[in-house]
Structure 1
């Protein structure tokens, strides 16, 4: 009897130790919240929470359209054998075919999951990985080591590296060319200011386009143009948005707007920008650009005053079917954030708590058989 009690005590101690380890690494049990559902051929929305650098608190959430259920931290539930969870700093998330790809920057990897179940299929180790995009049978991942990694999507293995500028960020594919925004983010005294152009038939850089310092976001529209953001130098040089004509591979317009992030849907680009006053209080602004005639529209796309409640806008996406707008709020950058959904008229539909630093959003539609 004493032996049995002793074993129970040991088991209990191990359980407590395991639980404390889980807590230490930021892994928490799955949480569910009910929010308004909707009828749509879109199944739902994946939300990638970055988690602060060094905290190992990157996490994956999922909003199910039909049931109106928002589930937090689903990677850990689907992959209990991955003891450290998703990892450190979730930096990008994309769907390609039947797989969900998650770039985890400080954990130096790309996780490849089944898009239906979020179960791990495989992973690729890439130092200082940042963003991902796709072309035919390849995935392309930027690495802050100064190259783009080429991954074979069939075997989930790295097969080539393409040298680009310093600290490359987002990418976009137009035709047979890959465009890469170079930042030089590690060297503020000498930022990069170019977009690399890669010929995808040869996987070689064929040109660099001069744009502006410290580039970050890069989005392609349906007309073959690129919208690329510059973060400036956080001082004298303000953030800005530039337009690149990919037929000429040159900058054709500067919009002179303060911008932090953007998304493009049909003929509209939705964006927000964050600036700071003399006391370093953040000031957020929201706007739209008509990409057909390349003009900035007047007014705020959030129309009900909720923008005053959003402390630190961080991620943005637009439902491709009903044009609802999703904005994430990083709040104080160390606590759980929030996801806001607005209808296309700019009125809030719901707000729900997320993981830490909700940043990257992707819509999931189950392909018809």
Structure 2
């Protein structure tokens, strides 16, 4: 989240809906490659302390976008700084960073429960990113923990202690990999990735990587990739490849990466704060740039902010936050880099996450 990182520097600086039993209702939904997307939800994080997180819905049939979908359904806003969200089973889980809670809704976007993320004395834990695992969802928080939420009871089973100010998290096999940024420790930063055993939900190892790790993604061959931003000064950004089984570092290259997605043998990456403004593809074997600009038809994306992929058909969604103060835009490209469509998230600011919907 761009606005979050800049603030830290100043201040110290988803098929048919499946219904099953309580324990099984949140198993991932599987759809065939022939099934077209019915629509998209886009989380617009808004701006810090403005309480203006919004949710845009794009209807594929009518080719229209509606904002704010969540407020229209519930009569109130999502809160302050929506950082991440997923659809898992029959529910949506919205991670709202500054307001410090996870908002859970049903598949129609109607409130089910708000899960507060507060520590001792009501101190905000500041949740950041979320991933599903079996009948749980796992949420990183800036207080140095990962929460384990049971998807049936919608209660927090446990807080796992990890590293300093964790950012993105990724599941590889029976392990969770957590990028510990140390964002509140500028200019020192953290430089570790926590490995969490998902049988016991405990940290079992730390892998030393580059300074200020943030984005993290797993492939389908037992590897994890970590983007480290550096210290914004004399230590530059790096991309690190880790063997998920042995925890060994397989390769490190000097490469600026913001957010990443892995699909069909390639890593798709936004440029990050120290990049050239273009979305690139990266060879996961060599960590070399396969294409310096994924977009092949000349379409201009002002400020690539988020990236998500429809793994059913290979479509790539790139969110554009413009100048962070103007309404954002979402672009859909096919897997050859040609634009299929785009839509504005007006009045939503800083669109950062796209979730594909199939009914």
> Does TM, normalized by the shorter one, top 0.5?
yes
Take 2:287 and 2:277, find their aligned partners in 1: how far apart are those partners? Answer: 22
1:124 equivalent in structure 2: 115
* CA positional deviation for 1:290: 3.1
TM-score between both structures, scaled by the size of structure 2: 0.84
Match of 1:47 among 38, 42, 45: 42
1:149 equivalent in structure 2: 147
User: Number of residues paired by the alignment?
Assistant: 317
1:364 equivalent in structure 2: 357
By relative contact order (CA 8 Å, sep 6+), the higher-ranking structure is 2
RMSD (CA atoms): 1.7
Summarize deviations over 1:93-130 as a string: whole Å, max 9, x none: 11111111110000100011112x11111121112010
Query: Is the Cα contact below 8 Å between 1:222 and 1:266 reproduced in 2?
Result: no
1:303 equivalent in structure 2: 296
* CA positional deviation for 1:321: 2.4
2:250 equivalent in structure 1: 252
Summarize deviations over 1:54-110 as a string: whole Å, max 9, x none: 111111112222332222210001111x3xx10000000111111111100001000
What is the SS of the residue equivalent to 1:297?
strand
What is the SS of the residue equivalent to 2:187?
helix
Is 1:345 aligned to residue 336 of structure 2? yes
Query: Is the Cα contact below 8 Å between 1:40 and 1:65 reproduced in 2?
Result: no
1:334 equivalent in structure 2: 325
1:103 equivalent in structure 2: 95
Take 1:189 and 1:295, find their aligned partners in 2: how far apart are those partners? Answer: 28
Match of 2:304 among 313, 318, 325: 313
Match of 1:72 among 67, 77, 81: 67
Give runs of aligned pairs for residues 17-32 of structure 1, distance below 5 A.
none
Give runs of aligned pairs for residues 204-353 of structure 1, distance below 5 A.
204-274=202-272, 283-291=276-284, 295-307=288-300, 310-353=301-344
Shift in alpha-carbon separation, 1:283–1:205, aligned structure 2, 3 A: same
Take 1:229 and 1:294, find their aligned partners in 2: how far apart are those partners? Answer: 11
Take 1:189 and 1:238, find their aligned partners in 2: how far apart are those partners? Answer: 13
Shift in alpha-carbon separation, 1:294–1:189, aligned structure 2, 3 A: closer
Take 2:244 and 2:237, find their aligned partners in 1: how far apart are those partners? Answer: 22
Match of 2:84 among 92, 96, 99: 92
Shift in alpha-carbon separation, 1:41–1:286, aligned structure 2, 3 A: closer
What is the SS of the residue equivalent to 2:249?
strand
Decide which structure has the larger Cα Rg and report it.
1
Unmatched 5+ residue regions in structure 1? Answer: 1-38, 277-281
Take 2:273 and 2:47, find their aligned partners in 1: how far apart are those partners? Answer: 21
TM-score between both structures, scaled by the size of structure 1: 0.82
1:33 equivalent in structure 2: none
Take 1:338 and 1:93, find their aligned partners in 2: how far apart are those partners? Answer: 18
2:13 equivalent in structure 1: none
Is 1:169 aligned to residue 164 of structure 2? no
Query: Is the Cα contact below 8 Å between 2:194 and 2:205 reproduced in 1?
Result: yes
